[in-house]
């Protein structure tokens, strides 16, 4: 099925400016790869994505002789443009984890106590291996180190250059993710009273500084990925703001499997836009693994039989505006600009819509001399106010290239930056 596009054009001509805003929403039939049902003993255990070449990588294990527990394991090289498997690389045992680091695939083989390396650009061979003395599970890369867990539950750091190994403490069922910007390893493990305990280990070169960050309830008997995106860390059902004192949000209904930018994908197929306009959509498939791609596509693997990988051509297909979830949940937890009701809208016929706009921080209002904020809902909207609505609705925070200059828009005007942003994106012009 060809990609169908619904284009909404808003065109407004007023003195000094005209606006021409194209909002495009894509609807596409899902492409998919099927990996077989339960009887075939097929499983995808890992999913990674390399944005530089547009390829996805998955570890694919198939039981070929069930009576002898003999499996066949491969690394699949998946072209994310058409969801085709372009290459397969044979492995000698079943991998536990797969990571991309410096244009190489690091593939953990715990049964052989080693990590093997392959190129992200397929050449049909294993290009190296790292032998580890006591390897159990886990794999993370960062700042020249390979991090893993040994059979005694100790977190180990293997220096890729010197090949020295140091212990970073003992943890229980640990998950970990490395922040390259701050050279910090985040480690989450389960405490004796079944809470998730979060620890940071800051890499100082020859040693690590350990710091306990926070502790919170575990909502499930298991917990999936740890995902770090910007200053948010996602653990289980939790979103943790790590930019300062940790702020914990647990409004998510199931395990978080992927987060990128303002989008969060959960295991039961929720796709949540976590900044204005705070929308929520639903996939048709359970998401065991997911990757948000650079071109707006979403790669999803569902472990539910028939065990299939799906490619959504547009994230817009998944996002359907639903303010209620975020007004009741996310915004309340994050103390957004939603704690006032302007006195001039309470009895207005458009109260609900205006209230939604205020709660989503799209409509700011004007503070009067009495200290109250008024919206003036029946007042004619100015070109600057309309531009502000568009810029906030599209979540644009800075100009895209060189903005236009207007004789009647001066620095110091409240709308100066708003017009700068709008003109740089081409939906504000002067005449």
Task: Tell me the pLDDT tens digit for each residue of 243-282.
Answer: 877 888 877 888 999 999 888 999 988 888 877 666 778 8
Assess whether 351 and 387 both reside in one domain. Answer: yes
Query: In whole numbers, what is the pLDDT of the chain averaged over residues?
Result: 79
Has residue 164 got a pLDDT over 70? yes
190: nearest Cα among 212, 201, 174: 174
Assess whether 409 and 341 both reside in one domain. Answer: yes
Instruction: State pTM to two decimals.
Output: 0.68
In a domain, 204, yes or no: no
Assess whether 390 and 330 both reside in one domain. Answer: no
In a domain, 238, yes or no: yes
Distance CA(337)–CA(109), nearest Å, equals: 49
Has residue 10 got a pLDDT over 60? no
Domain end call among 300, 335, 370: 335
What residue ranges in 111-231 does DSSP mark as E strands?
Answer: 114-119, 128-131, 135-142, 145-150, 154-159, 165-170, 175-179, 184-190, 195-203, 208-217, 226-229
Q: Is 402 exposed, middle or buried (0-12, 13-18, 19+ CB in 10 A)?
A: exposed
Our count of domains for the chain comes to 2
Instruction: Give the pLDDT score at 371.
Output: 56
Residue 71's H or E segment, with its range, is strand 70-79
Counting Cα atoms < 13 Å in the Cβ hemisphere of 305 gives 7
Assess whether 388 and 341 both reside in one domain. Answer: yes
Assess whether 328 and 359 both reside in one domain. Answer: no
Assess whether 331 and 392 both reside in one domain. Answer: no
In a domain, 29, yes or no: no
Assess whether 409 and 327 both reside in one domain. Answer: no
Which structural domain, as residue segments, surrounds residue 266? 219-283+318-335
Domain end call among 335, 363, 378: 335
* 116 confidence band (pLDDT: 50, 70, 90): very high
In a domain, 375, yes or no: yes
């Amino acid at each position: 099925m060809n990609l169908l596009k619904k284009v909404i054009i808003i065109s407004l001509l007023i003195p000094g400016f005209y606006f021409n805003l194209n909002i495009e929403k894509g609807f596409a039939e899902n492409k998919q790869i099927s990996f077989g049902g339960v009887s075939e003993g097929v499983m995808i255990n890992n999913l990674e994505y390399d944005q530089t070449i547009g390829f996805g990588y998955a570890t694919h294990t198939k039981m070929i002789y069930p009576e002898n527990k003999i499996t066949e394991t491969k690394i699949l090289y998946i072209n994310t443009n058409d969801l085709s498997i372009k290459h397969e690389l044979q492995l000698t045992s079943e991998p536990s984890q797969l990571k991309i680091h410096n244009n190489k695939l690091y593939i953990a083989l715990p049964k052989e106590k080693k990590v093997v390396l392959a190129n992200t650009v397929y050449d049909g061979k294993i290009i190296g291996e790292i032998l580890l003395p006591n390897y159990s599970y886990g794999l993370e890369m960062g700042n020249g180190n390979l991090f893993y867990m040994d059979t005694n539950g100790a977190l180990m750091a293997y220096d890729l250059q010197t090949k020295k190994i140091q212990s970073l403490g003992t943890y229980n069922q640990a998950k970990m993710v490395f922040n390259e910007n701050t050279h910090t390893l985040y480690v989450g493990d389960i405490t004796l009273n079944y809470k998730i305990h979060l620890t940071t280990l800051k890499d100082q070169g020859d040693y690590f500084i350990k710091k306990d960050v926070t502790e919170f309830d575990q909502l499930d008997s298991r917990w999936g990925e740890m995902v770090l995106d910007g200053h948010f860390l996602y653990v289980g059902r939790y979103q943790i703001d790590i930019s300062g004192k940790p702020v914990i949000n647990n409004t998510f209904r199931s395990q978080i499997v992927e987060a990128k930018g303002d989008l969060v994908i959960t295991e039961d197929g929720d796709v949540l836009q976590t900044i204005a306009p705070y929308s929520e959509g639903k996939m048709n498939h359970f998401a065991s693994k997911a990757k948000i791609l650079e071109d707006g596509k979403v790669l999803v693997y569902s472990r539910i039989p028939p065990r299939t990988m799906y490619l959504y051509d547009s994230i817009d297909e998944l996002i359907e505006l639903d303010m209620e979830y975020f007004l009741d949940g996310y915004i309340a937890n994050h103390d957004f600009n939603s704690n006032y009701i302007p006195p001039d809208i309470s009895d207005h016929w458009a109260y609900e819509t205006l209230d939604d706009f205020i709660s989503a921080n799209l409509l700011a209002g004007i503070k009067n001399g009495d200290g109250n904020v008024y919206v003036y809902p029946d007042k004619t909207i100015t070109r600057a106010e309309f531009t502000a609505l568009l810029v906030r609705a599209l979540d644009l925070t800075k100009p895209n290239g060189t903005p236009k200059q207007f004789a009647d828009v001066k620095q110091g005007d409240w709308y100066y930056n708003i017009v700068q942003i709008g003109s740089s994106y081409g939906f504000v012009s002067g005449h």
